[in-house]
Structure 1
Amino acid sequence: MRKSKLQAAHLDGDADDVEAAFYDALQNADLEKLMACWADEDDIVCIHPGGPRVVGATAIRATFEAMFANGSIRAVPEKVRKIVSVASSVHNLLERVEVLTPQGPQQAWVIATNVYHRTAQGWRLVAHHASPGTVSEIQEVSDAPSVLH
């Protein structure tokens, strides 16, 4: 029952709401809430930093279950860039991740792309692709916007 209740909460929301729920689930090691963010499709895909392509809900669930066995994932989305259409939304973002090291908590960066589709159940995640970022603070190179004065 919990899963369907969580899914119903997203029906009227948009891709941003699903993304917020996804990162909240990571930070709270809430596997049911995390899986409720995903579309009910055979070909959903998740790629963790340095990992293989994981396809399908059962396989994706298993990877997050293994990760949550070590506790929550303190990932905070930052600098989100979006391309939105009627039925899809692509979010490219930086994840600031807190990693516990022998020297104490340290920050690491992950560069991620989340793809959302509007489904019969509302907006849902269909792809999460995360790649390790760099050790420096500079995680993005972009064209400077033109400003007319």
Structure 2
Amino acid sequence: MSAPHTDVEQVEAANTAFYEAMERGDFEELSSLWLSPADLGIDETYHDPADAGVVSCVHPGWPALTGRGEVLRSYALIMANTDYIQFFLTDVHVSVTGDTALVTCTENILSGGPAPDDGDELGPLVGQLVVATNVFRRTPEGWKMWSHHASPVLAENDREDGDETPS
């Protein structure tokens, strides 16, 4: 496969790398994909990182997390407590304006933990449908994640009677 040439292709590749790092449980790779003040040429010793556009993340059912340390700790916690996770992305849409890119997608997630009895086998797989918005910033090293926001999609039987769309 050839290297991505357009901004949209590069953002798609960065988005895919994010999910693949999660699937592999590769915390170092995942960390390198998130924006840091250094990516923007800012020395944190002398400047407030918030001035550089602090990163943020909302996992389904979690409060908003802000700051690189807090966001990366959340991924370390998820990786430490998830034996298996796989993302099937659908409805992927990429929009690029200047040095900012927006990706919306549906995450069809399969995940599992250890079996309850002996822990040597994978427990039952659980499926979850989540919509996500990923925001990227252009850096000298390429596109980096600035914000990830994911929200569960309610199943039809979870909605109020007669409610055609989630509110």
Query: Shorter-chain TM-score category?
Result: 0.7 to 0.9
- More displaced stretch, 61-70 vs 115-124: 115-124
Which residue of 75, 80, 85 corresponds with 1:73?
A: 85
Distance 1:123 1:44 in 2: 14
Task: Give the aligned residue type for 2:13.
Answer: D
Secondary structure at the counterpart of residue 79 of structure 1: strand
Scaled by the length of structure 2, the TM-score of the pair is 0.68
Distance 1:16 1:81 in 2: 9
| Alignment of structure 1 residues 95-106 onto 2, 5 Å | 95-100=107-112, 104-106=124-126
Deviation string, structure 1 residues 86-125 (Cα, Å, up to 9, x no partner):
3111011000001338893232101100001112332111
Task: Give the aligned residue type for 1:106.
Answer: V
Pairwise CA distance, 1:38: 0.7
- Equivalent in the alignment of 1:16: 12
1:63 and 2:74 aligned: yes
- Equivalent in the alignment of 1:52: 63
Unaligned runs of 5+ in 1: 1-11, 142-149
Q: How many corresponding residue pairs?
A: 126
- Equivalent in the alignment of 1:123: 143
Distance 2:126 2:85 in 1: 13
Higher strand content, 1 or 2? 1
Which residue of 92, 96, 100 corresponds with 2:104?
A: 92
Unaligned runs of 5+ in 2: 1-6, 38-48, 116-122, 157-164
Structure (1 or 2) with the larger CA radius of gyration: 2
Does the Cα contact within 8 Å between 1:23 and 1:77 map onto a contact in 2?
no
Deviation string, structure 1 residues 31-84 (Cα, Å, up to 9, x no partner):
111111111133100110011111111111110111111234322221102222
Which residue of 27, 37, 40 corresponds with 2:23?
A: 27
Pairwise CA distance, 1:17: 1.4
Deviation string, structure 1 residues 8-41 (Cα, Å, up to 9, x no partner):
xxxx972111111100011011111111111113
Q: CA RMSD in A?
A: 2.2
Does the Cα contact within 8 Å between 2:55 and 2:66 map onto a contact in 1?
yes
Scaled by the length of structure 1, the TM-score of the pair is 0.75
Distance 2:12 2:109 in 1: 19
Runs of 4+ in 1 over 6 A off after TM superposition: none
- Equivalent in the alignment of 1:132: 152
- More displaced stretch, 98-107 vs 17-26: 98-107
Query: Sequence identity of aligned pairs in percent?
Result: 28
- Equivalent in the alignment of 1:146: none
